[in-house]
Amino acid sequence: MMRILLIIASTLALTACGQGAAEKAEDKAADHAAMGHEGVTPGAGDVAFTASEAAMHTEMAAATGDTLDESYIAKMIAHHRGAVAMADVALAQSQDPGILRMAQTVKDTQTAEIAEMQAWQPAPPVAMPPAAPAATTTPSGPEPAAN
């Protein structure tokens, strides 16, 4: 009960800190709590992932690009790095052989995908072929286009 009161008091204190409405909306969109996890008290196992999750969210929020494609790659690299960090936590702390196998698989595949995304280069702009000259019309009818 004391823990719940502390969480409520902390939430009220943070809300009163004066963040603007736009900042609140942006924070909520970037926060997994906005996906229906409000009011969920983290379990003992969740604490191990706090640092890796926070780092991933910070890196994803900071990842930008000049185009949608560049932004996607930057944000996905940050997301995959977060998955690798969480896999590292599981590899270091889990005792379950199944979890250890899954964590190693996640680490290996996400690391390979990070390398693939880092090697990605934007496609060069597509050069448009020159337009064909338009046919002209003369009093005797259409003239064929000059080649």
- How large is the C-alpha radius of gyration of the chain? 27
pLDDT at 33 > cutoff 50 = no
Q: Which of 43-47, 67-71, 78-82 has the lowest mean pLDDT?
A: 43-47
pLDDT above 50: residue 104: yes
DSSP E strands: which ranges in the chain? 136-138, 141-143
* Mean pLDDT, range 25-46, rounded to an integer: 60
- Which of 3, 68, 48, 57 minimizes the C-alpha distance to 27? 57
Sole residue written with tokens 């009161």: 5
DSSP class of residue 16?
A: T
For range 71-95, the mean pLDDT: 95
Q: What is the pLDDT of residue 44?
A: 78
Residue 110 confidence (pLDDT) above 70: yes
In the chain, where are the structural domains located? 45-120
Please give the Cα distance from 33 to 54 (Å, whole number): 12
In single-letter form, the type of residue at position 69 comes to D
